[in-house]
Amino acid sequence: MEKIGEKEANVLKKRTKRSEKIFEEAKKWMPFGVNSNYRYLDPYPLYFSKGRGSRLWDADGNEYLDFNMAFGSLGIGHSHPVLVKAMRRRIENGTIFGFEGEDIAVLAKTICQRFKVDMVKLSSTGLESTMHAVRLARAYTQRKKILKFEGCYHGSHDTLMVNVKPSLAKTGKSTVPNIVPSSQGMLDEILQNTIVAQFNNIDSVEEAVKKDRDDLAGIILEPIPMNMGFVPPKPGFLEALRRLCDETGALLIFDEVKTCGKFYHGAEGEFGVTPDLKTMGKAIGGGYPLSVLGGKKKVMDAIVPGVVAHAGTFNSNPVAVTAGLVTLTKILTKEKLAYAAKLGGELADGYTDIINDAKLKAKVQSIGVSGTMHFTDHEVTDWRSFLDVNVGTWWTYYTAMLNRGVIPMATGPDEQWTVSVQHTKEDITTHLEAFKTVVRELLRSEVSMEMVEAI
């Protein structure tokens, strides 16, 4: 008897013959045929040709309703007409000058006022922003140690590329996990200055920093971790981190590369806790490479030429500046984000209703435009509780949704959906109707397997 996972995988292969052909050529010139390891899928990654509004088309011409939205980078949706028009004008007048553009002060002011920071420095990627945040925290405090949380991803630089997706066998003690490098090629000497604790567990944080309190430069975290699904902070957790940093003199750093585009004032506006530094990116660039390091003036003033480095040829290039300015002032407005958040709530409620009606072993976790669905019977509050999620069933669900023309969320059981300002109520209905048919298939498969086992 063909299992549902095998059946859906075979259907997807038949639908994506050109992706398979592209992969066979691409892997000759690029390891695994992709330029971000997270895009590789077995037996091959999918390749896409265009996106418009809430939809994507793959290389085979298959149309998908897209709730990945480039891992949350496209809160404005694909090819938003307002941005397309502005970018045509921008490109006609130059894409990079080697100098600052005339609009840079306007964008900097817009970011500062909206996200409640005093000053900013711009780069291109989220990785750069978190790297600069760590460097600045160490320079400002004259200390070495940085604390991060197990399961959180902050870009692929060595200081923070630890305990991103560790196996339970390697992690060790739950309160103070072992340091687990997420790649070969990382130096032990660098990792000695990284501390790891459990998210949503202030006792774990206290124990982790006990012997290094006087050398703690900063605590960095995603206010809502989004590499173990979608994990809201427990009441009081962010406030406890703020108090700990105040007591020790360490800097509290919010990695808002994702959350800055999901809430109008970012995580601070949602949870009411003020960090010393924020890193931002993804959605605020409208699909163009733009990232931000922002924070309190007394800290940002430590970035001095020849003293604390911050540089990059493509930093604040006019293409990214125009994209950011148009996105923040004309597209990701308070009203449009509220509309997208309403649709996000309807999607989450719809998932919950379908799951409850079917008595499916699954949990929905969401706030506003984003959320996720885990195949588990408990809430996911940290990395170790995520490890109990049924990954195999998730991939079957994901593949089946693709075959029904819906990309339900970003690729992987540790990801989440994004509802853009271009999604509609009809899109939500289509998504949920597809999920209903998938649930029926999953339940039918469970019954069939029980019968086989009984025989």
Q: CA 133, CA 368: separation in Å to the nearest integer?
A: 27
State the CATH number of the domain containing residue 184: 3.40.640.10
Domain boundary among 331, 357, 390: 331
pLDDT at residue 22, rounded to an integer = 97
pLDDT at residue 197, rounded to an integer = 96
Chain segment 260-292, per-residue pLDDT in tens? 999 999 999 999 999 999 999 999 999 999 999
In terms of domains, do 247 and 322 share one?
A: yes
Domain boundary among 279, 311, 331: 331
In terms of domains, do 48 and 188 share one?
A: no
Domain count, the chain: 2
In terms of domains, do 355 and 325 share one?
A: no
The torsion of the CA quartet 255, 258, 261, 266, rounded to 10 degrees, works out to -30
List per-block mean pLDDT (blocks of 10 residues) for the chain, which spans 455 residues.
82 96 97 93 95 98 98 97 97 95 97 98 97 98 97 94 92 87 91 95 95 96 97 98 98 98 97 98 97 98 95 96 98 98 98 96 97 96 95 95 98 96 98 97 64 31
pLDDT at residue 175, rounded to an integer = 83
Containing structural domain, residue 358? 4-75+333-454
In terms of domains, do 418 and 295 share one?
A: no
Chain segment 194-228, per-residue pLDDT in tens? 999 999 999 999 999 999 999 999 999 999 999 99
pLDDT at residue 1, rounded to an integer = 39
pLDDT at residue 173, rounded to an integer = 84
108-111 long-range contacts (CB < 8 A, ≥24 apart) are 110/325, 110/328, 110/329, 111/280, 111/284, 111/292, 111/294, 111/324, 111/328
| Tokens standing for residue 28 | 């000759």
The residues annotated as belonging to the active site are: 153, 255, 282
In terms of domains, do 230 and 356 share one?
A: no
Closest CA to 283 of 160, 421, 129: 421
In terms of domains, do 170 and 135 share one?
A: yes
In terms of domains, do 155 and 277 share one?
A: yes
pLDDT at residue 451, rounded to an integer = 29
pLDDT at residue 176, rounded to an integer = 85
- Tell me phi and psi for residue 41, to 5 degrees: -130, 150
In terms of domains, do 177 and 276 share one?
A: yes
State the CATH number of the domain containing residue 372: 3.90.1150.10
Residues of 191-204 as b/e, b for ≥16 C-beta within 10 angstroms?
bebbbbbbbbbbeb
In terms of domains, do 246 and 313 share one?
A: yes
Domain boundary among 331, 362, 386: 331
In terms of domains, do 287 and 421 share one?
A: no
In terms of domains, do 284 and 161 share one?
A: yes
- Tell me phi and psi for residue 119, to 5 degrees: -145, 160
In terms of domains, do 90 and 200 share one?
A: yes
